[in-house]
Amino acid sequence: MTKGYVYLVGAGPGDPKLITVKGSECIAKADVLVYDRLASRRLLTLARPDCELIYVGKSPDRHTLRQEEINQLLVDKGLEGKLVTRLKGGDPFVFGRGGEEAEALLKAGIQFEVVPGITSAIAVPAYAGIPVTHRDLTTSFAVITGHEDPTKNETTIHWDHLARSHGTLVFLMGMQNLPLIAQKLLENGKKPTTPVAIIQWGTRPEQRTLVGQLDTIATDVKEQGFTNPAIIIVGEVVSLREKLQWFEKKPLFGQRIIVTRARHQASELSQAIESLGGEAWEFPTIEIAPPTDKSYLIKALNNLKGFQWLIFTSVNGVEAFFTELKLQERDVRDLVGLEIVAIGPATQAALEKKGLRVSFVPEEFRAEKIVEGLTNRVLFGQRVLLARAEEARDILPESLKAMGVDVWDVPVYKTVIGGANREELKSLLREKAIHSVTFTSSSTVRNFLTLIDGDVSLLDKVALYSIGPITSATARECGLTIFKEAVQYTISGLVAALLEGNKP
């Protein structure tokens, strides 16, 4: 059998966007993904659906697999001819024991490649506003293990050199030994007032930072309950944090927020959340599919000259309409003479990208306002083509009919339940790792509840945000309480609601 290939990949310090491009490519093509607890779970979503995921869960005080067993696992999978990605927090060659794994692979004759990652020794202080070097304070830094091999007969750390150094000292995996680290530095001449910072869960929503001085930091840590994973920074650069901290000042810092939109539409909201310091988790609860019966749409497209008005209620409706228009070997020239209505600026923008001019956009982006705005525009007896979702409410066509209008209510698409990982979703909710959930339509509400098997207790203390009153009404009907509703029924409005809901 042909031997496989192993990538030893650094996942970075925690923020999943700090993975390198090459690292993400290695995840995407892997047959087997071997990962530990410091690699963001969001990175697992980059793997193929058929990829074998193996958790090896290493932490300083508890291992799911011992290092020797991990080495053997990589060898065994490589000998099976698999393409293996070993995903390690930080950088595999900075106290990541990647060298030992590489040696085991070399001994077994399995080819490997090292893909460096951003080490927490540099990234975590940066996210706390602490540069490890600064021209006015220090021109060097050292990265030291805080968890030496316990089988060694004597330490190889030169405490006297470290204590005399003017450089920044960064200790990784040292929380259990913090009292000893402080003691050794003090005994070897480090000033008791030397600034020290402890950063726990750096670059993640849980990040928190404690600043103190060398002679009291061990006591401070105990009082504040700081534990692993955390790094220790010793040196004058710590004093810069007060003015340089930036991550923790972002308005959505500390918030892990679920985005329920369809996958192809989720990026706009996710990017807005993350630019404001939040962490967006995409669990698409809906997907867009063709209508159950396309014959009504095809009939309408064949009779476009008989309509005076064409109304779109969503971007999805625009895309589905024009997809079918093309399939019927037609184009925008068939819409000549039609007055076009759009609910909301996003729908308007989608139409304008098609080269169309929109005649009317209501001030409020919901069906009731369309009727109000069209009252003096649509004439009695005119024919209106309403292109929208199969499961849409009846209020708009019924209200138009009451005006004496001939309405063709044509489904151009339907929403079906999305491909979100329901077990991952429920796991995050059980762990109380989620702070907020955003809903952008009634379908996202209903399908979200389906994904969590209707267990609303999982949403205890989770803030729910709605894009508008229709979505909020559906949530209430389903027994949910909306914490904040967007004033403007758009993604920008939803982001504004998130900011309002997270004001200090």
| DSSP conformation letters of 400-452 | HHHTT-EEEEEEEEEEEE----HHHHHHHHHTT---EEEE-SHHHHHHHHHHT
Residue type, 497: A
**What does the H/E/C string look like for 272-303?**
HHHHCCCEEEECCCEEEECCCCCHHHHHHHCC
| DSSP conformation letters of 296-361 | HHHHHHTTGGG-SEEEE-SHHHHHHHHHHHHHTT--GGGGTT-EEEESSHHHHHHHHHTT---SB-
Judging by beta carbons within 10 Å of its beta carbon (0-12, 13-18, 19+), is residue 176 exposed, middle or buried?
Answer: middle
The one catalytic residue in 58, 82, 190, 414 is 58
Secondary structure percentages of the chain, helix, strand, coil, to 5: 40, 20, 40
Is residue 144 helix, strand or coil? strand
175 is a catalytic site residue? no
| Strand partners for 55 | 35
Spatial distance between the Cα atoms of 359 and 377, rounded to a whole number of angstroms = 10
Contacts of 93 (CB under 8 A, 6+ apart): 99, 114, 116
The one catalytic residue in 173, 190, 409, 414 is 173
The one catalytic residue in 31, 36, 91, 409 is 36
173 is a catalytic site residue? yes
Q: Which among 367, 377, 372 is positioned nearest to 342, based on CA atoms?
A: 367
Q: Which among 442, 231, 488 is positioned nearest to 346, based on CA atoms?
A: 488
| Strand partners for 386 | 311, 409
Q: How far apart are the first and last CA of the chain?
A: 61
36 is a catalytic site residue? yes
Residue type, 140: S
Residue 11 has φ and ψ, to the nearest 5°, of -90, -5
Task: Return the active site residues.
Answer: 36, 58, 173
